[in-house]
Amino acid sequence: EVQLVESGGGLVQPGRSMKLSCAASGFTFSSFPMAWVRQAPTKGLEWVATISTSGGSTYYRDSVKGRFTISRDNAKSTLYLQMNSLRSEDTATYYCTRVTTVADYFDYWGQGVMVTVSS
């Protein structure tokens, strides 16, 4: 059974940093691209970042470029999101997702972790 379990969220002040983790199990982690998708309170879904199977290629939405870094450790089957210079508009539930190799859609989602940016 595929499982994605996020951790590391909480309350953080504007301008500070936070690192999210996602522990994956039930599949060959190194064979799949992975992504983070977020959802602000009462809002819709928003793609944040994607990483290739090896970690050699990364992609970001414009609003987080230069502030967020997606990375992975295939030996530990773990995905990360380092978030720096956090803003109030980054407040959201962050979902770890598996990306299919067929056509770039998200076939498995974690339960999500809440990040609140507030003073």
Partner 1 sequence: DTVLTQSPALAVSPGERVTISCRASESVSTLMHWYQQKPGQQPTLLIYLASNLESGVPARFSGSGSGTDFTLTIDPVEADDTATYYCQQSWNDPWTFGGGTKLELK
# binding residues, partner 1 (CB under 8 A): 20
Q: Is 1 in the site for partner 1 (CB under 8 A)?
A: no
Q: Quick check: 119 and 93 in contact, CB under 8 A?
A: no
d(CA 89, CA 76) in angstroms, rounded, equals 31
Q: Is 33 in the site for partner 1 (CB under 8 A)?
A: no
- Looking only at residues 48 through 87 of this chain, which bind partner 1 when binding is defined by CB under 8 A? 59, 61-62
d(CA 106, CA 19) in angstroms, rounded, equals 22
Query: Can you say whether the dihedral through the CA atoms of 45, 48, 24, 18 is positive or negative?
Result: negative
Q: Which is nearer to partner 1, 13 or 89 (CB)?
A: 89
Q: Footprint of partner 1 on this chain (CB under 8 A)?
A: 44-47, 59, 61-62, 95, 100, 102-112
